[in-house]
Amino acid sequence: MKTPKRIEPLVEDGLVDSVIRQLMSGKEANVYVVRCGEEVRCAKVYKEANQRSFRQSVEYTEGRKVKNNRRARAMEKGTKFGRSAQEEAWQSAEVATLFRLAAAGVRVPTPYNFLDGVLLMELVTDQKGEAAPRLGELTFTAEEATQYHRSLITQVVRMLCAGVVHGDLSEYNVLLSDEGPVIIDFPQAVDAAGNSHAFDMLSRDVANLANYFGQFAPHLLTTDYSHEIWALYQTGTLTPETPLTGTFKRSEAIVNIDEVLQVVDAAAKEEEERQRYKQEMEDQ
């Protein structure tokens, strides 16, 4: 097929030899199957902000850092340069996340190059060598569903250990390769330590997996991995090898509101006295 204009720079730089076909058109990018020497890979061409349906939300971008102060100020003001910088930062965030997760052993498409808004990465294939299907296109036995669910929970844990929460994980962004599930699409991934919504997003990701695979293995619908995983993460004891049970016992201790208010009141009075004493020292 004719080489899309956005991929031409990769052809000129010798990173891509030819474009075989378009693989998909998504809400934030178009993906093409390309030939690179003897390898067949895929090129993810990010859409411009005014062309995509996915919109960045403060919920997702909270905690993302921009090192260049000039860029940060321009992005806050929404200038033309700022919008361009924001677009670049948005695209780079997914690329950086992919490299980070691949290095951590998470099963994601192997990233190779990123140039002019085009990400060159591994083409995930099935047993026949064809582009791997999404989970949502398939049906499973109860045993298969349990197996793949367990595999993906392990990947969720591995991501969290690398400091990342996917934020939009479902059967629509997991491919089933000949070696098992592969997680894709990370433009909305968040930093687990720097985003106050991280647990809510983790819970949603885990619930999506349970609800999907629960169609084939109903016992998965009663699991509670998100609270179990997050509790271990908060105590610093979570590792990819940590055995999980899928259950979580919430504290049933009754909170004495009067006692809590007394403690708060005492702390306030102590702070008031400390400030008064400090002022007296400064007045002397």
The catalytic residues are 168, 185
Q: Reduce the DSSP state of residue 137 to 3 states and report it.
A: helix
DSSP string, 148-215: HHHHHHHHHHHHHHTTEE-SS-STTSEEEETTEEEE---TT-EETTT-TTHHHHHHHHHHHHHHHHTT
Distance CA 32, CA 109 (A): 14
CA atoms within 13 A on the CB side of 245: 7
Instruction: Name the DSSP letter for residue 222.
Output: G
The b/e string for 37-52 (b: 16+ C-beta within 10 A; e otherwise) is eeeebbbbbbbeeeee
